[in-house]
Structure 1
Amino acid sequence: MEDAIGGVTAVSALEPTAELQRGLDGLHEAGGTGVIAVLETPDGVVTARAGVGDKETGEPVPYDTRCRVGFVQMSFMAVVTLQLVAEGKLSLEDTVERWLPGLVTGNGHDGAKVSVRHLLQHTSGVYDYTHDMETISSLNYVEGYAEKGLRTYTPHELIDVAMGAEPKFAPGTDWGFSYTNYTLIGMIIEAVTGNDWREELNTRIVGQLGLRDTVLPGADPEMPEPHARSYCGYNLAEPIDVTRFNPTVVGAAGEMISTPADLIRFFTALHEGTLLPEEQRRQMYDAMPAPQLAAMWPGACYGLGLIRLPLAEEKGYFYGHGGGFVGWNMRGGISEDGRRRMYLGVTGEITVELNSKMNDLVARHLSATD
């Protein structure tokens, strides 16, 4: 058997239960091309899969497949930011204007009214540049992928796209997800430290925790081996292979490549207080209702780069961050008591049915009683 543990420390490696395997098979039947899951409990680690990792060859998803985790990366970026706060180098109430003067302006945007806290919690109102479906067409259309899927974007280009539209609401008055928020967070980290945000994240988290399979690829469109191939039709066309993709289009908001096992290690360290002093960790976990997310994740509340979701049967909550990139979707987190941890990755289109099944599967397995 391949390496089913993928770096997670546990008592033993276990075979998937019939219930877990049925759940993963159900995700494949609901439209997921390939499925991979890692579940860690006090008894050990289970790694399971379903579907195929390559539609042409029929090969299964590698147990230690690398995944494009997308905006799960926001939790990592929030930790780096809060570490800088703990070190006295930055304040959550600092404005964007202080660190990036003259950048957030025009069409009603005002960086002097947007704080670091607003960015981290998605309460800034700053326009999400990915909603410009023509300019950022690689995220929105098959034709856009063919034309711009390998194009390199700079953070300033992405911010310029956002500044070309009006903000969604005044800072602090509502909640609204925006990739632009974390593009700005990456730029602020660089302004504070004098280093590329990737260097800070790699030093402070990836290296510190030994996340051996986590990569920040920059403009490199290739996936490190081993990996499943990813497919997407943007819900409008026949799915195509989108495995090669230049992720600078999401950059600091979601270019990360990782594995379910590495994500579990990160969220475990966060939950146990390894990465942040208690004051900053408390603020990260202090979540508010996120109605925009609730359509996809019922009951979702958002902290500072962290999502709180209800467990099955009203057994409490779990904490993590869903996400994904074109052709990949990730769900998972850690139970409130810290005893159960799970991350799940699915390649292919995300439909309402598939999304619901992914959410239910994670919530059930994180709420199980040992």
Structure 2
Amino acid sequence: MAHNTYERVQQILDWAVAADGIPGIVAEVHDADGTWFGTAGVADLTTGHRRQPGEYLHIGSSGKAFTAVTALALAAEGRLSLEDPVNTWLPGVMETGGYDGDRITIRHLLNHTSGLFLTGLAPELQNSLATRPTRIWTTSELIELALSQPPVAEPGEQFLYANGGYYLAGAIIEKVTGSTYAAEVERTVIRPLGLAHTHVRPADATGYPHPHPTGYVAGALKDGVDPATLTAENWASMIDYDKPPVDVTALNTSWGWAAGGVVSTTEDLTRFLQAIATAGLLPPEQHHMMWTTVGGDRVVWLPHARYGLGVIEFDSADAHAVHRQAVEAGGVSVSEVTHLAFGDLVGRVRDPFGNVWWIQTRIEDVTAEEMERRFGDPEFIAAMEYMQRPETEIFPRS
């Protein structure tokens, strides 16, 4: 059985490079038979060096799960409550953006129901990434960015994915503890799990520990597009995915911070995944809080899934879901998730690193027509069309 699983994962890796244009990709599977590591493609398009175990990767928004665990650990210690209003710890800060800091709670920040706008598309950030990719963002600048546009919903009203909520959560962690965000992640997550190859990337970092792949981003803004014109509605139509991969290894990622500032390896991520999916890190009460979810249907890339605190939960008809998570510094990591190990027996998969589009189109064989019905956004469908090559035509199911 394990041999068949490994072969299947390797097929998907090979296909991802051959058909999807990914420079290099890795997968690590931990099961009863041991550990298996697979690779396809290269770590660097110039040198042709192969991918290898133990590579350091910037894990992007998967870092939100680290932030959520840290906040929940502080709740378990009695140092904060998820129902604390933001004003309890950061008095008056939210009012600068027209937000009500007495109504928005820490829970709202962590499950993306605060009403904050889509911070990742803020014109100032997009302009900075395009013209000053090595800019170092301070915590105060990130909070200012998070509040630079008015609310888009009432607190608790709807799920709207916003990095800004995690910037504020990181600031609250620092206010509660009198320590740094990085130190608290180290204390509450990294040390207890023995994640020897995981750390919060320093704001001024310009590289990664060795070994690491070259980071690439697929696609870039179409010629002539002004980054300041990007919105939540039009961004997908502004990307040209036919452009060659862009090397972003030297990109400064301080803008990710508590929303996505962690560097790790596939081995460490697998250990972290198992711990948070099976109550191996938090007390039962806080574990339950982490997996208390809200619907994500209003977000085009998260249909038919639910969001907890830094984690995603979705229904899968298959026992196995193999998925890709493209991270913000261009690395790619792959994990195997099984509901038998990490969920329950009715097909609900607990996945902190979920790419729901990938899973539905690649693993569950959802048709392009059905995806368009679910997503309901023709521009988004057109931009994501490159992901629609039917894998099952290449690797039929057994």
TM-score above 0.5, yes or no: yes
1:1-370 to structure 2, matched below 5 A, reads 17-29=6-18, 30-139=20-129, 144=130, 147-219=131-203, 220-232=205-217, 233-234=219-220, 235-236=239-240, 237-293=243-299, 295-313=300-318, 315=319, 324-330=327-333, 332=335, 334-338=337-341, 352=384
CA deviations 1:287-324 (Å, max 9, x no partner) are 2211245x3344321111111122343x5x98999562
Once the two structures are superposed, what CA deviation does each residue of 1:11-51 show, in whole Å capped at 9, x if it has no partner? Answer: xx979733222111111121211101111122222110111
- Count matched residues: 338
Partner of 1:3: none
Instruction: Classify the secondary structure of the residue corresponding to 1:308.
Output: strand
Contact 1:67 1:345 in 2 (8 A): no
The Cα of 1:222 is off from its aligned counterpart by 0.5
Moved over 6 A (4+): 13-16, 317-321, 339-346, 356-360
Pair 1:252–1:105, CA change in 2 (3 A): same
Give the whole-Å Cα distance in 2 for the aligned partners of 1:229 and 1:334: 26
In the alignment, is the contact (CA less than 8 A) between 2:26 and 2:332 conserved in 1?
no
Residue 122 of structure 1 aligns to a residue in which SS? Answer: coil
The aligned amino acid for 1:244 is A
CA distance in 2, matches of 1:53, 1:26: 16
CA distance in 2, matches of 1:304, 1:344: 12
* Code of the aligned partner of 1:352: M
Q: With structure 1 as the length reference, what TM-score do the two structures score?
A: 0.82
Offset, 1:326:
3.9
Q: 1:225 to 1:254 in 2, by over 3 A?
A: same
Matched to 1:337, the amino acid is: L
Equivalent residue letter for 2:341: G
Shift in Å at residue 155 of structure 1? 1.5
Cα separation, partners in 2 of 1:339 and 1:297, compared to 1, 3 Å: same
Q: Is 1:261–1:343's contact at 8 Å kept on the other side of the alignment? A: no
Please say if residues 116 and 152 of structure 2, whose CA atoms lie closer than 8 Å, have aligned partners that are also in contact. yes
Cα distance in 1 for residues equivalent to 2:86 and 2:324 = 24
Match of 2:199, SS state, is: coil
CA distance in 2, matches of 1:166, 1:189: 24
Amino acid at match of 1:245: L
Relative to 1, partners in 2 of residues 1:359 and 1:215: Cα closer, same or farther, differing over 3 Å? farther
Residue identity opposite 2:123 in structure 1: M
Q: Secondary structure at the match of 2:123?
A: coil
Aligned-pair identity in percent equals: 33
Query: What per-residue deviation string (whole Å, max 9, x for no partner) do you get for residues 248-267 of structure 1?
Result: 11111101111121111012
Distance apart, 1:271 and its partner CA:
2.7
The verdict on how the C-alpha distance between 1:277 and 1:328 changes in structure 2, with shifts beyond 3 A counting, is same
Higher-RCO chain (CA-CA 8 Å, sequence separation at least 6): 1
Tell me the SS of whatever aligns to 1:337: helix
Q: Helix, strand or coil for the counterpart of 1:50?
A: strand
CA pair 304-339 structure 1, distance change in 2 beyond 3 A: closer
CA–CA distance in structure 2, aligned partners of residues 172 and 343 of structure 1: 21
Report the Cα offset of residue 328 of structure 1.
3.2
Amino acid at match of 1:59: H
CA displacement at 1:123 relative to structure 2 = 0.4
CA distance in 2, matches of 1:122, 1:312: 27
Q: 1:339 to 1:156 in 2, by over 3 A?
A: closer
1:199 is displaced (CA, Å) by: 0.1
**Deviation sequence 1:223-250 (CA, Å, 0-9, x none):** 1110110122434454321111221111
Q: Decide whether the 8 Å contact of 1:74 with 1:254 is kept in 2.
A: yes
* SS across alignment from 1:283: helix
- Measured in 1, the distance between the counterparts of 2:206 and 2:58 equals 11
Q: Counterpart of 2:192 in structure 1: which amino acid?
A: Q
Is 1:263–1:343's contact at 8 Å kept on the other side of the alignment? no
**Aligned partner of residue 112 in structure 1, secondary structure:** coil
Cα deviation code 1:305-351 (max 9, x no counterpart): 111122343x5x989995621423455464333279999999xxxx7
Cα distance change of structure 1 residues 15 and 152 upon mapping to structure 2, 3 Å threshold = farther
Shift of 1:184: 0.6
Gaps of 5+ in 1: 1-12
Is 1:37–1:342's contact at 8 Å kept on the other side of the alignment? no
Q: Tell me the alpha carbon deviations over residues 102-122 of structure 1, each in whole angstroms, 9 at most, x when there is no partner.
A: 211234312111100101110
1:121 and 1:320 mapped to 2: Cα distance?
22
